[in-house]
Amino acid sequence: MHQNGRLMLIAAMLSAASAAQGATQSQCGPAEKVMFSCSTGAKVVSVCATGDLSSGVGSVSYRFGPLGHPEITYPPNAWHDVTRSGTWTFSGGGGAWLAFHRDAFRYVVYTAIGRGWGEMSGVAVEQNGKLIANQPCRDKPVSELGPDLFSDANIAGDDKDFELP
């Protein structure tokens, strides 16, 4: 293979790698597991877990902002104290959500599917129990949210309901 052929092959490989990364863009580091991630336009919302996440070990964090430069990374520690989970059962579908409580605010990442309305996913922000922002996913989310994950990681159920925006 001559030099131009090798360069074309390298360019094609980089393009494929870039496309694969673009399909699963997240704020998570290479050693972290993506529990949830999607683009909301100019920003990316992700929930990242250490690779050793289980009932007694590991950690989870919520990140939101421009790709690679999250404006919010929460919590810095003691994630079990502020992270809660929930699930829905709908006619012809269901869903799951993970909430991060921070003083008067609650950041909720969600994914759901239902008969008649299809799929919904994104991040909602509540202040004092009232919805103040909803950023729907603009692409198909990467999501591991669900009862198995919540049970395996010992993530408590939320005492506050969450209604789809």
Residue range 42-69, pLDDT digits in tens: 999 999 999 788 767 888 999 999 999 9
Is 86 contained in some domain? Answer: yes
Is pTM, for the whole model, over 0.85? no
Is 3 contained in some domain? Answer: no
pLDDT computed for residue 7 by the predictor: 26
Is 13 contained in some domain? Answer: no
Per the structure, how many domains does the chain have?
1
Is 159 contained in some domain? Answer: no
Measured distance CA(33)–CA(13) in Å, rounded: 24
Is 82 contained in some domain? Answer: yes
Is 164 contained in some domain? Answer: no
- Domain span at residue 66 reads 26-152
Is 2 contained in some domain? Answer: no
Going from the C-alpha of 42 to that of each of 13, 63, 123, the distances in angstroms are: 26, 14, 14
Q: Does residue 141 have a pLDDT over 60?
A: yes
Phi, psi of 104, rounded to the nearest 5 degrees: -80, -5
Is 44 contained in some domain? Answer: yes
Residue range 148-158, pLDDT digits in tens: 999 989 999 99
Q: Does residue 10 have a pLDDT over 80?
A: no
